[in-house]
Amino acid sequence: MNKYRKKLKKILSEKRNTFIFFTILVILGIIFGSFFITLLDKPDKTMVTEQITTFFTSIKKGEAVDTISALKNSLFSNILNVLGIWLLGISVIGIPIIIILIFVKSFIFGFSIGGIISVYNIKGIILSIGYLFPHQLINIIVMFILSIISFNLSINFLKNLILKKQMDFKIWAGKYYKLLFISLIIVIISSLFEVFISPIILKLVSSII
């Protein structure tokens, strides 16, 4: 564990500017997402409110959920996000798309928080923590780290293309494949937690508050 922590710290320190850029991007995405619900018109806001209320009511009542379908959807979404960003790292077009993807993911994260709090007020803070922690937080951290590395790799591709230089794939290929493998393992575990553990936590939290 310490070995991987040191490697991660080294990567982030070497890519400090990119790290700062993506940190600001994620923070802005979460802030904009959190306040976006206040900008919705009445019908849209009502629809979002009803969806949130229905979800937490069904959780509180312990209504049966199609776990197989939920797991498939969660796995599909998480794996697609990881593979998408990873593949964009080995393409020139990855630079703008990676930025958009991480911002959208942060925006959705913030919107979820803002939506729950707007419906349940102070209690919504506790519910939003139960809803998002730790699986959603883990997902966004994985995407954040993956985005930094993929973004820099895409930048290197662009630089070599402009300078008409060949890039030695052997230097980064092994590490980049390892990054993909680790990221996929983490988001798969996150999906399992989301489907099988998170509803239990949410039911407990909902009954307390």
Q: Confidence band (pLDDT; 50, 70, 90) for 1? A: low
Looking up tokens 């939920």, which residue turns up? 70
More confident residue, 166 or 121: 121
Least confident of 35-44, 88-97, 155-164: 155-164
Q: Confidence band (pLDDT; 50, 70, 90) for 204? A: confident
59: left (phi over 0), alpha (psi -120 to 50) or beta: alpha
Element (H, E) at 129: helix 122-132
Q: In this predicted model, what pLDDT tens digit does every residue of 114-152 receive, in sequence order?
A: 999 998 888 888 888 888 888 999 999 999 999 999 998
Q: What is the pLDDT of residue 13?
A: 61
Enumerate the domain spans of the chain. 17-208
Dihedral of CA 27/1/182/193: which sign?
negative
Q: What is the pLDDT of residue 99?
A: 93
Instruction: Give the global pTM.
Output: 0.87
Q: What is the mean pLDDT of the chain?
A: 87
